[in-house]
Amino acid sequence: MKEPVYVVGGGRMGRGIAQTIAAAGFNTVICELNQQLADSAIARIRDSLQAAVEHEKISIGQMNKTLGNLSAVSDLKKVSNAALVIEAIVENLNAKKTLFSELDSICDSSTILATNTSALSISDIASVCGDPGRVVGMHFFNPVPSMKLVEIVCGADTRENIAEDVMSFVESIGKNPVLVKESPGFIVNRLVIPLINEAAIVASENTATVKDIDTAMKLGAAHPMGPLALADLIGIDIVVEILETLATELGDEKYKPCWLLHKMIAEGKLGKKTGSGFYDYA
C-alpha cells in the first residue's frame, strides 16, 4: 500500500486506527477539522502509548517508532494522492455522505475510500461518489490496538479487487479480516448489540445486579467480558446508535433500545469514556 495512509477523524476510533497503522510501520496522517484538533489527536495517542510503556505492553523504542510514523493535518485536500483514506468520523449517515462527496472530488481516481462505520449501509455512503466501486467498509473494533478483527464490508458496487487490496492491507498491519456482505450491523454488532440490549432489559427489571448479570455470562456462557461491561467499553451512546440503525434498517421492534440505556445517556453515563456507566471508573 502506497504511503501515507490517511485517517479522517481524530476521535477515539480514528486515533486507534492511526496508532495501529503507524505501529505496523506505515506513514500515517490524521486529518481533522482544524489544527488544534489534529494536534490534540497526536497528543492523546502519545499519552496512550506512554501508558502502554508504563504497563510494559510495548517498549520505548516501539513508542518512538509509532510516533515517528504519525503526523496530523487540518487540510482535507492533503489526501488527494493517497492510496487509501479511512473515514472515522461520527456515526451519522448524512455526515459521512457529505465527507465522501468531498473525498470523491478531491482524491485521485485510484484512491480507495474506506469507512469505519459500525452499522450503516456502505451502498448509501457510496451513492454520493462518482465511482462507488472504490468504496468499502473497514470496521475496526475498540480498542483498536488490541482487537484483532476487522470486518471488510462490500457495498452493492464495491469491486472485488478493492476488497482484496484492503484485506491484504489489514493483514499487513497485524489484524484478521473477515469478508462481509452488506447487511445492517454486519456480523459482530448484529449479534452482540442485541445481547447488550437484552442484558440492559434484565438489569432494568431488577432480575439481577449488573455485576451478577456479567458474572453469569462470563461463567455460564464462557464470555471473556460481561455484556454490560462491554457496553461501557463500547460506549452507551454508540450502543443505542447501532440499535436504532438496526431497528430502522430491519424494521423489527426487538432492536428498540432499552429505556435504561436512554436514561444513562441523559445522565451523561456513557461508560468508560465518561468515567461512569453500568460501572464506575473514577
Q: What is the pLDDT of residues 119-145, one digit of tens each?
A: 899 999 999 999 999 999 999 998 999
Average pLDDT value for residue range 85-114: 97
Mean pLDDT for the chain overall: 96
Between helix 188-204 and helix 210-220 the angle, nearest 10°, is 140
List, in order, residues 6 or more apart from 33 with CB less than 8 Å away: 74
pLDDT given for residue 157 in this prediction: 97
* Alpha-carbon dihedral sign for residues 76, 80, 86, 91: positive
Looking at the structure, tell me whether residues 161 and 204 fall in a common domain. Answer: no
Task: Check: CB of residue 145 under 8 Å from CB of residue 206.
Answer: no
Identify the CA nearest to 156 among candidates 185, 179, 132, 140.
Answer: 132
What are the cell numbers at 108? 485521485
Average pLDDT value for residue range 89-94: 94
**Where among 114, 146, 181 does a domain terminate?**
181
- Residues annotated as catalytic are 118, 139, 151, 189
What are the cell numbers at 105? 472530488
Q: What 8-state DSSP symbol labels residue 280?
A: B
Identify the CA nearest to 144 among candidates 242, 10, 18.
Answer: 18
Looking at the structure, tell me whether residues 34 and 144 fall in a common domain. Answer: yes
**Where among 181, 213, 231 does a domain terminate?**
181
Global pTM value: 0.91
Q: Domain range for residue 27? A: 5-181
Residue 110 banded pLDDT, cuts 50, 70, 90: very high
Task: Check: CB of residue 25 under 8 Å from CB of residue 72.
Answer: no
Number of domains in the chain: 2
Looking at the structure, tell me whether residues 139 and 232 fall in a common domain. Answer: no
Residue with cell 505492553: 57
Residue 279 placed within a domain: no
Is 282's pLDDT higher than 90? no
pLDDT in tens, 24-40: 999 999 999 999 999 99
Looking at the structure, tell me whether residues 243 and 266 fall in a common domain. Answer: yes
Give the SS3 label for residue 27. Answer: coil
Percent of the chain with pLDDT over 70: 100
Spatial separation of the C-alpha atoms in residues 173 and 159, rounded to whole Å: 22
